Structure 1
Amino acid sequence: MQKSILIVEDEDILREVVKDYLLDAGYEVLEAVDGNEALAIFEEHDIHLIILDIMLPELDGWSVCRKIRKASNVAIIMLTARADEDDTLLGFELGADDYVTKPYSPPILLARVKRLIDSRYARAGKLPDEDTLISNGICVQFPTRTVTVDGESITLTYTEFEILTYLMQNQGIIITREQLITKVWGYEFDGDDRTINSHIRNLRYKLGTKANCIVTVIRAGYKFEGIT
């Protein structure tokens, strides 16, 4: 099945360049030049990933991300013109899965798109060694990438899902922030510890009463503690 990507970018030349790379890679591409148009397109189409610029007319990227996250865990890559850590952290806190700082290389952006798409949908056509992971009332279904807590479904972003499952698969073992970065992003990362902290904070909030399963080990990292 061809995957659909929505590019939300008001710079025509940049949007066209990215579009050409994505089309050549075999993706279906939809385009929006402002936040309101992006939301309208998202509601009308089955979108698998969004490339979302922060600085947009009508409705900025922060607002678009916030609105989409209320209804969907679709993969989101945010584009920022500033190498500002606060911008990056805000994006992650709102539920973005990745970010790219302008100016950037389209092939690098394409590689990040492929990583998110492949990680999220590669399991659809094959059975993993272990389809289900259960611990302390938290149940992960890998084929559908769904998570329930005491039987209640919760919605996780791509990044939150990857962090949770990595910690659960290594229950009782301390996982460093560097290990999480390598596992989740798979490339040299420009952020700092606050980025991981933001994702962990969001994940704990969504886990509700099970938040204490993710334990912070001072000056070491994190570990998952539960009852199998």
Structure 2
Amino acid sequence: MSEGTILVVEDDREIGEIIVLYLEKSGFKVIIAADGEQAIRLFAEEQPDLLLLDVMLPDMSGIEICKEVRKQSDVPIIYLSCKQDAEDIIEALQEGGDDYLTKPFNPAVLATQVKDKLLRMKGKYVSQDDRYTLKCNKIEVNLLSYDTYVDGRLVQLLDREVQLLIYFMQHPDRICSIDELRQQIWGHDSLSGEAAVIVQISNLRKKIESDPSQPKYIVTVRGEGYKFRG
């Protein structure tokens, strides 16, 4: 039985073959696309569980593909790129990506991260049982379905965003460093850097704060990290 279907969008044949090899060894069904047009078509046809998306492609950018996918799905998207500038990472994540890995990367670690992300996703089923609801101030999060309400309003959060919010709510009024958040949410073996954490917190604020420039829930503690006001 397959662990899930992964769409790999990569125009470098050698890199693509290595990724496919490790993912298939981990039990995944893998579909590969070499350009944006093919990727969008295969996504519509196959409805994969996760996308591994190269940023630089011959016909369109990975960011453009992400925008198209986000119009119809909140499927996890992990960018793969040789671009390491913070500006590039921030732009990619702000457009709806869940994670950003820089090349070269360890394909075995990548396969492990993909499996971990999909295992988390399998827990997303609806339950209204209060035992599985985390409440703090005017925010409620269902720990099984990940449904999130702010002031009674349903808010659509991506996987990393809701995981960050849950961690903050479980540790109210305590300073959490960027490195702590990276390790707890992305994992100790994560290939992601600090920029990914900063961008996802920024995205989360835009969705739960009435004024993200003056947050009342997730506040910055200069030089130390972030604190959730419980």
Q: Which residue of 1 aligns with 2:170?
A: 169
Q: Which runs of 4+ in 1 moved over 4 A?
A: none
The answer (yes or no) to whether the contact 1:73–1:155 under 8 Å persists in 2 is no
Q: How does 1:61-80 map to 2 (within 5 A)?
A: 61-80=62-81
TM-aligned CA deviation for residue 185 of structure 1: 1.4
Q: Which residue of 2 aligns with 1:214?
A: 218
Deviation readout 1:47-89 (Å, 9 max, x if unpaired): 2111000111222101112232343322111111233332222
TM-aligned CA deviation for residue 122 of structure 1: 4.8
Percent identity between the two aligned chains: 36
Alignment partners' CA distance in 2, 1:31 and 1:146: 31
Letter of the 2:88 partner, please give it.
D
Residue segments in structure 1 that go unaligned for 5+ positions in a row: none
TM-aligned CA deviation for residue 183 of structure 1: 0.7
Q: Residue 176 of structure 2 aligns to a residue in which SS?
A: coil
1:162–1:176 CA distance, 2 compared to 1 (3 A) = same
Q: How does 1:1-228 map to 2 (within 5 A)?
A: 2=2, 3-122=4-123, 130-187=131-188, 191-192=193-194, 194-209=195-210, 211-226=215-230
The answer (yes or no) to whether the contact 2:217–2:228 under 8 Å persists in 1 is yes
Letter of the 2:78 partner, please give it.
I
The answer (yes or no) to whether the contact 1:204–1:212 under 8 Å persists in 2 is no
Letter of the 1:47 partner, please give it.
P
1:59–1:140 CA distance, 2 compared to 1 (3 A) = same
Q: Residue 51 of structure 1 aligns to a residue in which SS?
A: strand
Alignment partners' CA distance in 1, 2:123 and 2:146: 11
The RMSD of aligned alpha carbons is 2.5
Residue segments in structure 2 that go unaligned for 5+ positions in a row: none
Alignment partners' CA distance in 2, 1:9 and 1:57: 10
TM-aligned CA deviation for residue 140 of structure 1: 1.0
TM-aligned CA deviation for residue 94 of structure 1: 2.0
TM-aligned CA deviation for residue 9 of structure 1: 0.9
Letter of the 2:8 partner, please give it.
I
Alignment partners' CA distance in 2, 1:190 and 1:49: 17
Letter of the 1:112 partner, please give it.
Q
1:129–1:170 CA distance, 2 compared to 1 (3 A) = farther
Letter of the 1:212 partner, please give it.
K
1:32–1:151 CA distance, 2 compared to 1 (3 A) = farther
TM-score in terms of structure 1 length = 0.86
TM-score in terms of structure 2 length = 0.85
The answer (yes or no) to whether the contact 1:120–1:145 under 8 Å persists in 2 is no
The answer (yes or no) to whether the contact 1:215–1:222 under 8 Å persists in 2 is yes
